[in-house]
């Protein structure tokens, strides 16, 4: 679910930003990166205004056994809410303000410079794609109830595909939908030019 402030004299491609809203009422302000007109509405490529971040939990036992440490990408909202104050405090030391926004956590502020030893190559094993890799930049680490956590930001931009329909509503569209692949490719290709 998303909401959008529509001004009738604006055409969809003239809109600079939109606000997405999740089912829990959290919002995420996004820039409109590109738009593509279609018969059933306008498809838009969105990028968050603030910097997306993720929180990882580390398996301490594997570190002690000289193995590669197991890492878990936190997606459980209850667990994120429990550790959120600690994450916000360590990021505040870097002059970064952490927010629990719709669809992702974000920070406001200037990121520290990228250092090679602070880059993590995270391999995500999902049902749709067996092994997907993402590079993340380390921001801060902390402990909560003896569990080690780290906050990272993806090096690749986080993009959302949305549809602005003929009724003036914006809804997120899954980029994994086979019918959306040509639209997504055209939006990405046009955005790169």
- Termini Cα distance of the chain: 31
Tell me if 119 sits within 8 A of 175, measured CB to CB: no
Token pair belonging to 11: 């055409």
Residues 100-133 have pLDDT tens digits of 999 999 999 999 888 888 888 887 655 555 556 7
Order across the sheet with 160-165: list the strands.
Answer: 17-21, 27-38, 41-48, 160-165, 170-173
- Please state, rounded to an integer, the average pLDDT across all residues of the chain: 83
Q: Tell me: pLDDT of 142 over 70.
A: yes
pTM above 0.85, yes or no: no
Residues 8-50 have pLDDT tens digits of 334 444 568 899 988 899 999 999 999 988 888 889 999 999 9
């Amino acid at each position: 679910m998303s909401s959008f402030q529509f001004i009738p004299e604006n055409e969809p491609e003239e809109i600079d930003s939109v606000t997405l809203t999740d089912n829990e009422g959290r919002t995420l302000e996004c820039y409109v990166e590109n738009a593509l007109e279609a018969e059933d509405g306008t498809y838009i490529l969105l990028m968050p205004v603030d910097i997306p971040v993720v929180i990882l939990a580390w398996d301490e036992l594997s570190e002690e056994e000289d193995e590669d440490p197991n890492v878990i990408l936190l997606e459980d909202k209850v667990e994120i809410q429990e550790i959120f104050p600690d994450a916000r405090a360590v990021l505040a030391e870097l002059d970064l303000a952490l927010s629990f926004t719709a669809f992702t956590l974000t920070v406001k502020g200037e990121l520290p410079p990228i250092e090679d030893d602070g880059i993590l190559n995270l391999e995500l094993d999902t049902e749709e794609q067996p092994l997907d890799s993402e590079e993340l930049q380390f921001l801060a680490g902390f402990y909560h109830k003896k569990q080690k956590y780290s906050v990272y930001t993806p090096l690749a931009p986080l993009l959302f595909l949305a549809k602005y329909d003929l009724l003036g509503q914006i809804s997120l569209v899954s980029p994994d939908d086979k019918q959306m692949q040509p639209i997504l490719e055209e939006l990405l290709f046009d955005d790169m030019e």
